[in-house]
């Protein structure tokens, strides 16, 4: 599961898990320090887990941007647009651990509390992540039936572009973020010849889809309709937009929920090409 729906609001799952894990770890560290170790109430070792998380996020973002500097320098504002989900996870974990080790070295009385809090938060994060995605193998595209916008042909999604790298965008004309990123997808479809772009409309009629494409002056190839909006739930996504990055074997390498900037999308295309 990559996102969840709360009424009209759809939220990505990963940030919610991170916030919950950090909060629980900080709370446990604080309680352990006061009740088990007798640390004075004016000392707050639990706060250091929150600080560690912030440092981890900062370094994870900086390393990601640095690795793709050629893309982000062309659009500097995209560097701070963390909605694109661009993080270098290992750098973040190392930075967070380094912060905690430094604090444990400076405050010996906090060491046990920091360790217990960090382990608690990590176990919650890891356990929840596994529970939501128990299969560690890359999943294959689900067998969802889609209809061609151009001629009404009915086809199974895994068959479309089989053997090619694929970027599959789930969208709808009423979705503001979808409309925001559509021109970017159209531009890259025209230049990235080795990648098959597929645009799977969710739940709208062919008349509505054509009216939108005409009014937006978008010339897209590979527009398909999913009348029952089956694809989103099948891949664990609630809400739009969502983008699937699929390797030549038909396995979903990554799922992104939300808007993609140009540097973020190009970075993912780079990763898709390099993926085993």
* pLDDT tens, position by position, 181-215: 999 999 999 999 999 999 999 999 999 999 999 99
Compute how many other C-beta atoms are within 10 angstroms of the C-beta atom of residue 86.
Answer: 25
Cα 184 off chain centre by: 18
Domain boundary, last residue among 74, 105, 132:
132
Which domain range does residue 216 map to? Answer: 145-274
Structural domain contains residue 163: yes
Q: What is the mean pLDDT of the chain?
A: 95
Q: Are 120 and 72 contained in the same domain?
A: yes
Tell whether 200 and 116 lie within a shared domain: no
Regarding whether 118 and 226 lie in a shared domain, the answer is: no
Q: Are 152 and 260 members of one domain?
A: yes
Q: Indicate the pLDDT class of residue 136, thresholds 50, 70 and 90.
A: low
- Does a structural domain hold residue 139? no
Residue 15 lies in a domain: yes
Taking only the tens place, the pLDDT of each residue in 76-104 is 999 999 999 999 999 999 999 999 999 99
Cα separation, 154 vs 30, whole angstroms: 58
Domain termination residue (choose one: 83, 102, 132): 132
Over 80: is that where the pLDDT of 134 sits?
no
Residue 1 lies in a domain: no
> Can you tell me the mean pLDDT for 59-69?
98
In a domain, 230, yes or no: yes
Q: Is the peptide bond before 60 cis (omega within 30 degrees of 0)?
A: no
Measured N-to-C along each axis, helices 176-191 and 262-274 cross at an angle, to the nearest 10 degrees, of 50
What is the rounded end-to-end Cα distance, in angstroms, of the chain?
Answer: 23
DSSP string across 101-116: HHHHHH-GGGHHHHHH
Tokens read off for 148: 């061609």
Mean pLDDT along residues 65-74: 97
DSSP string over 83-136? GG----HHHHHHHHHHHHHHHHHH-GGGHHHHHHHHHHHHHHHHHHHHHHS---
User: What Cα–Cα distance (Å) separates residue 58 from each residue in 63, 109, 228, 257?
Assistant: 9, 27, 40, 21
CATH number of the domain at 226, please: 3.40.30.10
- Statement to judge: residues 152 and 116 lie in one domain: no
DSSP code, position 139: P
Q: Which pLDDT value is given to residue 7?
A: 73
């Amino acid at each position: 599961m990559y996102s969840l729906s709360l009424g009209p609001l759809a939220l990505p799952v990963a940030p919610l898990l991170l916030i919950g894990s950090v909060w629980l770890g900080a709370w446990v560290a604080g309680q352990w320090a006061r009740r088990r170790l007798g640390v004075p109430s004016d000392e707050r070792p639990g706060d250091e887990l929150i600080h560690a998380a912030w440092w981890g996020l900062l370094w994870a973002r900086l390393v990601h941007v640095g690795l793709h500097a050629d893309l982000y320098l062309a659009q500097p504002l995209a560097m701070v647009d963390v909605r694109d989900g661009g993080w270098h996870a290992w750098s973040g974990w190392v930075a967070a651990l380094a912060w905690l080790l430094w604090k444990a070295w400076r405050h010996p009385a906090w060491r046990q509390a920091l360790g217990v809090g960090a382990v608690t938060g990590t176990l919650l994060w890891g356990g929840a992540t596994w529970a939501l995605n128990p299969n560690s193998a890359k999943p294959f595209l689900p067998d969802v039936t889609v209809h061609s916008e151009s001629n009404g042909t009915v086809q199974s999604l895994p068959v479309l572009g089989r053997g090619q790298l694929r970027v599959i965008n789930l969208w709808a004309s009423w979705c503001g973020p979808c409309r925001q990123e559509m021109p970017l997808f159209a531009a890259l479809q025209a230049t990235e010849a080795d990648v098959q772009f597929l645009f799977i409309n969710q739940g709208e009629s062919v008349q509505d889809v054509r009216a939108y494409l005409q009014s937006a002056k978008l010339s897209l190839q590979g527009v398909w309709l999913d009348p029952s909006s089956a694809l989103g739930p099948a891949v664990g996504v609630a809400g739009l937009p969502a983008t699937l990055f699929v390797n030549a074997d038909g396995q979903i390498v990554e799922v992104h929920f939300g808007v993609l900037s140009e540097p973020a999308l190009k970075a993912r295309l780079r990763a898709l090409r390099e993926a085993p």
